[in-house]
Amino acid sequence: MGAEKVGAWLADFAEQIRENAAMLTDLDRQIGDADHGSNMDRGMKAVAALSPAAFADAGAYLKKAGMTLVSTVGGASGPLYGTFLMRVGGAWPAEESAEGIGAALRAGLEGIVQRGKAEVGDKTMVDALAPAVAAYDAAVGQGTQAALDAAAAACAQGRNSTTPLVARKGRASYLGERSAGTQDPGATSVTMLIEAAARTLA
Ligand code: ADP
Ligand code: MG
C-alpha cells in the first residue's frame, strides 16, 4: 500500500475534525479547557498540507504526520495522537494485509497507553480505541473492510460509554464527579479517525 491511501485516511479525518471542531471544543468546554477541537483542527490542517506522494512509503508519511501533530497540537492530545501515528507508521506493513494493518493499529494504541497510562474506564480516547482494536482483531479473518467496519462500530460504542464515567486521567479528572454526564472529547475525535479509516483504507 502506498502513501496515497493512508493520505486519503488522514485527509478524511482532517475534514471530519474541521466540520466538528466546534462540537469537540464544546465537549472540552464542559469537562476541560475548551480547546480540543481547535487544537486538533490546527494539527490536522498542518498534516493535510503534507503531500503523501512526497514520501517513500506509507510508514514514512505516517511518522511525519505524527511528528507534525506533536509539534502543532500541544496539550494532552498532541503527544498522544502524535505517538499514535508515529507508532502506526513504524508498524505499517510493506504489503497490504488485514493482519498487517491490525498490527499497526495495535502498535498505535500501545503507544498511547504507554505515554498516557490510561486504562479502559478512565474516560479517555482509550475507552474508544481499545475496543476498536480488539474488534478489528476479532474480525480480521473476514478481511480489511469487515475488520475496519467492526472497529469503527466498537469505537463508537466505546465513545458512547464514556458519557456516564468519572474521569481519572487528563484535565477532566480535576472535575471529579462533575466530569460525569459529558462524552469525552478525545474519545469523540478518535472515533472520527477510525470511521475515516473504515471509509478509506480497505
Ligand atoms: P488538554 O486536556 O491538554 O487540553 P485536549 O483538550 O486536546 O488536551 O485533549 C483532551 C483529551 O485527551 C481528553 O478528552 C482525553 O480523551 C485525552 N486524554 C487526556 N489525558 C489522557 C491520557 N492520560 N491518556 C489518554 N488520553 C488522554
Ligand atoms: Mg483541552
**Cell 471509509 -> residue:** 199
Establish whether residue 37 lines the binding site of ligand 1, counting it when its CB lies within 6 angstroms of any ligand atom.
no
Establish whether residue 28 lines the binding site of ligand 1, counting it when its CB lies within 6 angstroms of any ligand atom.
yes
- Take residue 111 and report the three cell numbers written for it: 503507544
Atom of ligand 1 nearest to the CA of 75: 3
What is the torsion angle, in degrees rounded to the nearest 10, for the CA atoms of residue 197, residue 75, residue 168 and residue 185? -40
Q: Tell me the residue type at 6.
A: V
Sequential DSSP letters for 111-165: HHHHHH---TTSSSTHHHHHHHHHHHHHHGGG-HHHHHHHHHHHHHHHHHHTTTP
Atom of ligand 1 nearest to the CA of 125: 16
Map out the domains of the chain with their CATH numbers: 3-200 (1.25.40.340)
pLDDT value of position 6? 97
181-198 exposure pattern, b = at least 16 Cβ within 10 A, e = fewer: ebbbbbbbbbbbbbbbbb
- For ligand 1, atom 26, the nearest C-alpha belongs to 124
CA 148 to chain centre: 13
Eight-state DSSP code of residue 92: -
pLDDT value of position 2? 72
Residue 168 CA: distances (Å) to CA of 120, 154, 160: 10, 22, 17
Atom of ligand 1 nearest to the CA of 78: 7
Distance 25 CA to ligand 2 centre (A): 8
Q: Computed from CA positions of residues 18, 20, 21, 22, in that sequence, does the dihedral angle turn out positive or negative?
A: positive
CA–CA distance, 98 with 78 (Å, rounded to integer):
28
Higher pLDDT, 1 or 20: 20
The answer to whether residue 1 scores a pLDDT higher than 80 is: no
Establish whether residue 48 lines the binding site of ligand 1, counting it when its CB lies within 6 angstroms of any ligand atom.
no
Establish whether residue 149 lines the binding site of ligand 1, counting it when its CB lies within 6 angstroms of any ligand atom.
no
CA–CA distance, 142 with 138 (Å, rounded to integer):
9
- Take residue 202 and report the three cell numbers written for it: 480497505
Distance 27 CA to ligand 2 centre (A): 9
Establish whether residue 41 lines the binding site of ligand 1, counting it when its CB lies within 6 angstroms of any ligand atom.
no
Convert the pLDDT of each residue in 148-202 to its tens digit: 999 999 999 999 999 999 999 999 999 999 999 999 999 999 999 999 999 999 9
What's the mean pLDDT when you consider all of the chain? 97
